[in-house]
Amino acid sequence: MTTKKPYNKQQKSNVDMKVGQTFPLTIKRLGINGEGVGYFKKQVVFVPGALPEEVVVAEVTDVKNKFAEAKIKKIRRKSPHRTTPPCPIYEQCGGCQLQHLQYEQQLILKRDIVIQSLERHTKLNVSKLDIKPTIGMEDTWYYRNKSQFQVGKHKEKVIAGLYGANSHKLIDIDNCIVQHSATTEVTNTVKKILQDFNIPVQNEKKGQPSVRTIMTRVGFSTGEIQVVLITTDEKLPRKQLVVEEIQKRLPKVKSIMQNINGRKTSLIFGEETFHLSGEKVIQETLGEVSFELSARAFFQLNPVQTVKLYDLVKEAAQLTGKEKVVDAYCGVGTIGLWLAEGAGEVRGMDTIAESIDDAKENAKRHGYANMKYVAGKAEKWLPRWVKEGWRPDTIVVDPPRTGLDETFMKTVLDVEPKNFVYVSCNPSTLAKDIQFLSKKYKVDWIQPVDMFPQTAHVESVVRFVLKKH
């Protein structure tokens, strides 16, 4: 068996194009990151901002081994679905990818992204799968309940926002129109406090404790707000003054926390979190279920669509009141609580200890004695429970973008729960996991859900059924 050598810069690219080259390009489809995809001399070209059905003049910006990237020089034929983005910094920011596409068409193309991933990564006959139309939102703006804005300085002014697409330039965002207005107001005020009292911010002076990120989360149903200052060191200069100013200028803020992340990493949070003022958690309610949310706890970013998402999970789980249910990658226990009344017992696990503390507290507050939560990886706990003689009838998974761990999937195939429900935030890893699970499971249906309007992200709920032996 020969080993394929990894591609490096010294190797010749298989793509016969050069940076700066221009050519007409017909856009065939939308890529998983929201870019237009076309073919020049049978070679793939990705063009951010281009839409299916458009003919553009593309200028090559980068050539990789198997594809090229390009930018739009001119649009010769516009898509009938192209619209004017309402955000003034839309193209600079890169946080949204589809504001230039009419919303109804966004929903159609998100379903198509799921189909493309299945065609690329599975051996299934995709045309025979039940892939339903994407469930959208009525109001597609101001839906995000949490912002995590990086902090920096530009011409002596404290700024906060996101790094531009494929750049190290921090874009100052004063008003993000997909964020809940309360998160915008709070972040702007905290930014002003840092400016007023000359609080060190990231990259200002190396080695000096500084603020690197402002995280703001709001409870849609309760109005409660939490601020987390992510700093490089616990000993932030004038920290108490900052806390007092937040309390004074933002009386609606119920919880002020500090998280320490001094490492060079793209991860927002570090391992240590300290309570600075107010409550340690804020409250949120989905449907009739309430939750306590701590600083690092995972919670869905779009509460309105989350209710639709979890109702689909309940429909897919088909519980009768007796089943043993596993809520893997459980966060603060949202899915488990949604299913608790229909289950005999629910067990959940998550790698973030604070999330498990929240999950336990949430179950206790709702009076559920049939729920058990543990900190750790799903691939560790599921085999352990099975070895102890506890075998689940139903497993629900809501993994990160990297998808399911192979050890976990092997255990699922060994345990053979009658119902398996997959909540996915990444069509590519979903498709790869479907292929692996197809050894014993078949897809009953797939329901795409638009949790993030104006972006290329698409979530899916998949109901699997065990194949008959």
Q: Which residues are catalytic?
A: 425
Task: State the pairing for strand pair 289-293/67-77.
Answer: unpaired
Q: Are 426 and 403 in contact (CB under 8 A)?
A: yes
CA-CA-CA-CA torsion sign (44, 50, 52, 56): negative
Cα 333-272-457 angle, rounded to 5 deg? 50
Return the amino acid letter for 2: T
Q: Are 10 and 47 in contact (CB under 8 A)?
A: no
Cα 366-369-371 angle, rounded to 5 deg? 90
CA-CA-CA-CA torsion sign (139, 453, 445, 407): negative
CA-CA-CA-CA torsion sign (403, 408, 414, 419): negative
Return the amino acid letter for 37: V
